[in-house]
Amino acid sequence: MAVIAMFYGIIISMYYFDKRQHHRPHIHVKYQEQEAIIAIPEGELLEGTLPTNKLRLVQAWIEIHSDELMADWTLASEGNTVFKIEPLR
């Protein structure tokens, strides 16, 4: 697992070789005790829960960084090192 961004108490990561379970590009999001899996670049909640305001922040961040996220997804799915992505400020 590689953490690619952190902002407002939200931790966003990608797992290496993580194509099997959801069969589409996605990120793993943690906020306090809650966890969610969100599709990229669509921002669709695939699994888990997040407070609505935090989900919206993540979806806005995905929209801003969709190209970078897809590039990281390609790297991670092949087992290569991913790059950090600028957080929301």
pLDDT value of residue 21: 66
pLDDT value of residue 1: 87
The string of pLDDT tens digits covering residues 8-23 is 999 999 998 876 666 7
The string of pLDDT tens digits covering residues 41-59 is 999 999 999 999 999 999 9
pLDDT, average across residues 58-68? 98
DSSP strand E in the chain: where? 2-7, 10-14, 26-31, 34-39, 45-48
pLDDT value of residue 23: 78
